[in-house]
Amino acid sequence: MESTPITFDSIILTGSILTPDYKWEEHIGKKVGRVLNEKAPNDPWVKLLPKVKLWGMEEMMGRSGVEGFNQKVITERTNEIYDHNNVIKRDTISKFWVPFLNKNRGKFDLDNVLHSSLLFKNSK
């Protein structure tokens, strides 16, 4: 992610299968403005992932959609009624997601992103 000019003002995760140990602190403020993780303790599909890494399992896979990240740089919400199929609802979008997205709008404007990526390339 470090060598790409792609940036995100905000990321919203639902049913996330990233590892709870994912190193968000390496990206927040650099390529990512903010992250909201919607935890759904009753998500049956995320729960199928093992709690420990198995041989051959992708390192980035995990149960963050159920367990969360437990990192200060991440905003997390838990809702017991969510499962894998019902989190994307009009009231959730309007009450929580739109304000979250609007709060960080424009964090990374194109001129700054291009300038930063050129500096990064030139420093190698």
Dihedral sign for Cα atoms in the order 108, 110, 111, 112: positive
Question: Is 106 domain-assigned?
Answer: yes
Domain of 30 in residue numbering reads as: 8-122
Q: What pTM did the predictor assign?
A: 0.76
Tokens 């420990």 found at: 52
Q: Residue 26 domain-assigned?
A: yes
Within-domain flag for 3: no
* Residue 57 covered by a domain: yes
Nearest to 97 by CA among 124, 75, 120: 75
Q: What is the pLDDT of residue 4?
A: 63
Residue 99 lies in a domain: yes
**Pairing mode of beta strands 75-78, 8-14:** unpaired
Write out the two tokens for 106: 């424009």
Below-50 pLDDT ranges, the chain:
1, 113-124
Q: Count structural domains, the chain.
A: 1
- The confidence score (pLDDT) of residue 52 equals 61
Q: Is residue 1 part of a domain?
A: no
pLDDT of residue 107: 72
| Residue 2 belongs to some domain of the structure | no
